[in-house]
Chain A
Amino acid sequence: MTTIPFKLPLNIKLYRPVSPTGVWGWLTTVDHKKIGVLYGVTAFIMFLTGGIEAMLIRTQLIAPELKIIAPEVYNQLFTMHATTMIFLAIMPLSAAFFNFIIPLQIGARDVAFPRLNAFSYWAFLAGALIMKSSWFLGGSPNAGWFGYAPITTATFNPGNGIDFWIIGLQVLGVASLAASFNFIVTIINLRAPGMTMMRLPLFTWMTFITAILLILAFPVITVALIELMLDRTFDFNFFNTKAGANPILWQHLFWIFGHPEVYILILPAMGIVSEVLPTFSRKPIFGYPAMVLAASFIAFMGWLVWSHHMFTTGLGPIANSVFTLTTMLIAIPTGVKMFNWLGTMWGGDIDFKTPTLFAVGFMSMFLIGGISGVMHSFSASDYQQQDTYFIVAHIHYVLFGGSIFGIFAGIYYWFPKITGRMYDEKLGKLNFWIMFIGQNLTFFPMHWVGMQGMPRRIFTYDSGMGWAFWNGFETIAAYAIAFGVLIFVINMIKSWTGGKKAGDDPWDGRTLEWSIPSPPPVYNFRDIPIVKSLDDFWHTKQKSSNSNTKVKSKTKVSDIHLPQPSYWPLLVAVGLTIAGFGIIYNLVFTGIGIGIMLITVCAWSFEPVNEPDSH
């Protein structure tokens, strides 16, 4: 492994890797494609652990009054299931695509800050390890993924579980913020010549809007978590009801973050659907400007609806009326997107391959979740629905039927580009149908069970309530979902290792990522493309199918400068992890961790900047 030295102040010489291979190559990579793969694989493993947590929950609920899982463990299971799926699965799976696909879609060689990008992965891994290690280190958090005070305060929750939750989320927050800063700058500043904002592929647009939501929403939960941590560790009074604190402060802070967060969870999946449908329908997206406008309006309105999560907390009829109206309003741009997708397919020549199936599955599931969402928006009747399985149904229709299905569409769609191979189409279709049927059979009955009065977050229920049959049914159906996921894993392993070679453009795609080889060379584009319209690659193909000229590339590969690998991002993440564990166990380690971070961040800043070329 060759290295190049670089000098720090005080004449310290350090060596910087040049072309590392193997494990060291992965540890020091700043290549957005490798980082995307790291995110994707790690996040998928987390998705599986969250799935196991779900299976355990469902097993305990298969019949009334079971004692398979003790209440304390059950409470940890539903807390960890939700926290895992939201923060360790959906968000980083979306990030995997942001990483791999965005530079390819905008015609760039990498992101604006390659080392920051690497850091955001390592910090995500750190957060995931902190969060999941709680299972083995004395108990996981047990107060729900939303951690309402005061049950999360030290008075009612001594023990480390909540501390793991706080620190895990803070570290994950740092990772998400770093990634979002990166993508905002990348999308604004590294677009190929001629690629105006209104020529961006919709997946890039959704990523951009998601990133803006993220950098504004995460600081709010960061503050809430800091306040809770100060209470737990240093006896501050933010949520100390004996000192006069009002626990509703937590709820406000949490949901001012929490509502934009759900748009952060769904917009990338919507972006993927907006890529898949046009490609497989052989038509452009219907109403591109409206799609951009609708997403922007959703993102903006997303800040004005948060208290619909708090309708039953006694805010009063004025507040409840306002938030009912704003929430109803946000249904309108969401509907617009749905109609535009239908308009895209209408009149098209649609190939219902696996990505298309998942995209259409997304649409029909998100529709149901959206309709139940409008039902919740009526605060008066929400008083019956809040905290019941009706909400659990809504959540899973939009997050599983929505986000996860959208992500699966993306996995199948971009599988050839990422791996250079085709997935097995038969297994893909089987995967879709089992997951689709399983999802509906598991979650649709929950609407009914919720309206029959079954509250959430209960480890057991009595017989004679009218809930037993459907709970048993839902559990069996959930096992079917697990089976569907198994089919997926088999397909991935089989195809990644031995699938048919894919070629550059297996789907006759419309966007720039299909104009380069699969998998892409490390420099992405030999020549940075010059973009003349939306779906530029599609138009280039139409034109060149009429003429027979092929433009020869003038660039020598050896002339292309790429960002150099670095180990500082990893080391800063290590310091962050140590600091985090220090807050849970012993503040001395926090001091050590902060010291490590100070040194490594400084060293990082003295390492020469290697931004990717734009020519």
Chain B
Amino acid sequence: MFNTIKKFLPILLSLLFVIACGGFDGPQSTFDTHGPVAKEQADLFYLILWAGMVVLVAVELVIIYIYIKFRRKKNSTRIPSQTHGNTKLEIMWTILPAIFLAIVSVPVLSAIWTIGTPPKNPDVVVNVHGHQYWFEFEYQDLDVVTANELHIPVGKKILINLYSNNVLHSFWIPKIAGKTDIIPNQGNYMWIQGDDVGMYYGQCAEFCGESHALMRFRVVVDTDEDFRAWISHQKSEAFVPNDPLEKSGYDIFMSSKAGCGGCHMINGSKKAKGKIGPNLTHFGSRQHMAAGILENNQVNLRNWIRNPDMIKPGNIMSGQAAVYMDPNKSLTESEVIALASYLQSLK
């Protein structure tokens, strides 16, 4: 009896898991779909999940039955019938799974083609560039370059082109679509569509180095109106701030000592034209920073400017910017505060 329970245990536990887990979906759950691509992928998964559960339970029950019925009684010396096989049975259990798989391959192949065929006339085209360790979003034809936050209009087909000039990355927004890898020189693409207004989590899903775990982003699905407003705002140039603290931050940013402009672009400025780091023109309007890992507020921003390597080990800014490499050029605390203030003013 106890032995029987021991055999049942894994099945019981598995069922418990399935039940227990069924409750709560996290921000990157692939079950909580908000777009046709993710939905088709989830539906396919449910199909094979149920079929798989049936097979699993059936076979495990057979194993349990075998244990109960055919286990050796103490001191038994019985030699059972030496069956060598059963051709009919063996043919049947070869053909039946084959038939099942043949049937199932129809929805699978159909999904492969739907998901793998980009829209002929996408509503928006975005070139996604993977960096170590952040995502850059370049809206082709719309003259907008930004980072960390991807805005798309609801219910529209978006073509995503994927580029990297460094290592492999992967672009993944679980609730909207399965991932596609970013491979240098390969020119991959995918299409997505968000059917519900809201903010969704994305994460890099191909190992890309020390801070791969910290390379994330957000996708904001806007109404048509909000999207157009966002685009035109992103196109606008940044002003030189009036507030004295923000202005002193602006001066530091543009100075050759700090050299921020060498890597970062601020549209409309003369000295910040760099394309190595994220475009910061509207940094203040983003909800998150450092590739989706921190909320965009003064405290986090100051920590980041003070010591980026503490937050994101191996990031390129810590490894290349003079203010972090050259002890003579490092930022004072008041400079950090001023810079943070300036950056947050860039709404």
Query: Do A and B have CB atoms closer than 8 angstroms in the complex?
Result: yes
Residue of B nearest to A386 (CB): B179
- On chain B, the residues within 8 Å of A372 by CB distance are 52
- A244–B81 Cα distance when bound, in Å, is 66
Residue of A nearest to B13 (CB): A440
Residue of B nearest to A287 (CB): B85
Q: A-B pairs with the 9 shortest C-beta distances?
A: A453-B28, A383-B178, A466-B26, A458-B213, A314-B188, A317-B116, A380-B111, A287-B85, A371-B52
Q: Can you list, as one digit per residue, whether each of A213-229 has a CB less than 8 Å from chain B (1) or not (0)? A: 00000000000000000
- On chain B, the residues within 8 Å of A577 by CB distance are none
Q: Which of B63-71, B222-230, B275-283 touches A?
A: B63-71
Q: Which of A281, A343, A375, A380 contacts B115 (CB 8 A)?
A: A380
Residue of B nearest to A448 (CB): B21
- A317–B189 Cα distance when bound, in Å, is 12
Q: Kindly state whether residue A235 has any CB partner on chain B within 8 Å.
A: no
Q: Kindly state whether residue B55 has any CB partner on chain A within 8 Å.
A: yes
Q: Which of A68-76, A123-131, A182-190, A557-565 touches B?
A: A68-76
Q: Kindly state whether residue A138 has any CB partner on chain B within 8 Å.
A: no
Closest CB in chain A relative to B167 CB, distance in Å: 4
Q: Are B186 and A350 in contact (CB under 8 A)?
A: no
- A532–B162 Cα distance when bound, in Å, is 64
Q: Which of B87-95, B255-263, B318-326 touches A?
A: B87-95
- A245–B185 Cα distance when bound, in Å, is 7
Q: Are B97 and A332 in contact (CB under 8 A)?
A: yes
- A317–B118 Cα distance when bound, in Å, is 11
B 67-89 contacts with A by CB, 8 A: 67, 70-72, 76, 78-86, 89
- A320–B111 Cα distance when bound, in Å, is 11
Query: Can you name 19 A-B pairs with beta carbons within 8 Å?
Result: A72-B210, A283-B80, A288-B85, A316-B116, A331-B97, A332-B101, A335-B93, A340-B85, A346-B66, A364-B10, A371-B56, A379-B108, A381-B45, A451-B45, A452-B25, A452-B31, A453-B27, A453-B30, A466-B24
- A50–B45 Cα distance when bound, in Å, is 33
Q: Which of B17, B48, B76, B189 contacts A314 (CB 8 A)?
A: B189
- On chain B, the residues within 8 Å of A452 by CB distance are 25-26, 28-31
- A452–B60 Cα distance when bound, in Å, is 26
Beyond the given pairs A75-B209, A313-B181, A384-B42, 8 more chain A to chain B contacts, judged by CB atoms under 8 angstroms and listed by A's residue number, are: A150-B168, A282-B80, A351-B71, A367-B60, A381-B178, A453-B174, A453-B201, A466-B27
Q: Kindly state whether residue A456 has any CB partner on chain B within 8 Å.
A: yes
Main SS of the interface on chain B?
mixed
Q: Are B78 and A349 in contact (CB under 8 A)?
A: yes
Interface residues on A, range: 35 or more
- A281–B79 Cα distance when bound, in Å, is 9
Q: Which of A143, A281, A339, A381 contacts B207 (CB 8 A)?
A: A143
Q: Are B313 and A336 in contact (CB under 8 A)?
A: no
A 440-498 contacts with B by CB, 8 A: 440-441, 444-445, 448, 451-462, 464-467
Q: Are A284 and B56 in contact (CB under 8 A)?
A: no
Q: Kindly state whether residue A324 has any CB partner on chain B within 8 Å.
A: yes
Q: Are B212 and A457 in contact (CB under 8 A)?
A: yes
Q: Kindly state whether residue A363 has any CB partner on chain B within 8 Å.
A: yes
- On chain B, the residues within 8 Å of A371 by CB distance are 52, 55-56
Q: Are B28 and A281 in contact (CB under 8 A)?
A: no
Q: Are B112 and A320 in contact (CB under 8 A)?
A: yes
Q: Can you list, as one digit per residue, whether each of A122-149 has a CB less than 8 Å from chain B (1) or not (0)? A: 0000000000000000000001100010
Q: Can you list, as one digit per residue, whether each of B125-148 has a CB less than 8 Å from chain A (1) or not (0)? A: 000000000000000000000000
- A384–B49 Cα distance when bound, in Å, is 14
Closest CB in chain B relative to A373 CB, distance in Å: 10
Q: Are A451 and B183 in contact (CB under 8 A)?
A: no
Q: Kindly state whether residue A586 has any CB partner on chain B within 8 Å.
A: no
B 1-19 contacts with A by CB, 8 A: 6, 9-10, 13-14, 17
- On chain A, the residues within 8 Å of B331 by CB distance are none
Q: Kindly state whether residue A342 has any CB partner on chain B within 8 Å.
A: yes
Interface centre among A351, A382, A383 (most CB of B within 10 A): A383
Given that A288-B85, A383-B180 are known contacts, is A467 also in contact with B41, CB under 8 Å in the complex?
no
Q: Kindly state whether residue A37 has any CB partner on chain B within 8 Å.
A: no
Q: Can you list, as one digit per residue, whether each of A57-89 has a CB less than 8 Å from chain B (1) or not (0)? A: 000000000000011100100000000000000
Interface centre among A289, A352, A380 (most CB of B within 10 A): A380
Q: Are A312 and B178 in contact (CB under 8 A)?
A: yes
Q: Which of A71, A314, A384 contacts B41 (CB 8 A)?
A: A384
Q: Kindly state whether residue A413 has any CB partner on chain B within 8 Å.
A: no
Given that A148-B207, A286-B84, A321-B112 are known contacts, is A384 also in contact with B45, CB under 8 Å in the complex?
yes
Interface residues on B, range: 35 or more
- On chain A, the residues within 8 Å of B44 by CB distance are 378, 380-381
Q: Kindly state whether residue A427 has any CB partner on chain B within 8 Å.
A: no
Q: Kindly state whether residue A504 has any CB partner on chain B within 8 Å.
A: no
- On chain B, the residues within 8 Å of A436 by CB distance are 10
Q: CB within 8 Å of A: which residues of B?
A: 6, 9-10, 13-14, 17, 21, 24-31, 38, 40-42, 44-45, 48-49, 52, 55-56, 59-60, 62-63, 66-67, 70-72, 76, 78-86, 89-90, 93-94, 97-98, 101, 104-105, 108-109, 111-117, 162, 165-168, 170, 172, 174, 177-181, 183-189, 201, 203-214, 293, 313-314
- A466–B63 Cα distance when bound, in Å, is 34
Q: Can you list, as one digit per residue, whether each of A356-398 has a CB less than 8 Å from chain B (1) or not (0)? A: 0000100110011001101100111111111110000000000
- On chain A, the residues within 8 Å of B166 by CB distance are 150, 156
Q: Which of A75, A321, A331, A460 contacts B101 (CB 8 A)?
A: A331
- A382–B109 Cα distance when bound, in Å, is 13
Q: Kindly state whether residue A27 has any CB partner on chain B within 8 Å.
A: no
Q: Kindly state whether residue A241 has any CB partner on chain B within 8 Å.
A: yes
- On chain B, the residues within 8 Å of A75 by CB distance are 207, 209-210, 212
Q: Are A312 and B180 in contact (CB under 8 A)?
A: yes
Q: Are B70 and A367 in contact (CB under 8 A)?
A: no
- On chain B, the residues within 8 Å of A386 by CB distance are 178-179, 205
Q: Are B70 and A332 in contact (CB under 8 A)?
A: no
Q: Kindly state whether residue A159 has any CB partner on chain B within 8 Å.
A: no
- A48–B200 Cα distance when bound, in Å, is 41
- On chain B, the residues within 8 Å of A441 by CB distance are 13
Given that A245-B185, A332-B97 are known contacts, is A375 also in contact with B56, CB under 8 Å in the complex?
no
Interface centre among B26, B42, B170, B201 (most CB of A within 10 A): B26
- On chain A, the residues within 8 Å of B213 by CB distance are 71, 455, 457-461
- On chain A, the residues within 8 Å of B178 by CB distance are 312, 380-384, 386
Q: Are A317 and B49 in contact (CB under 8 A)?
A: no
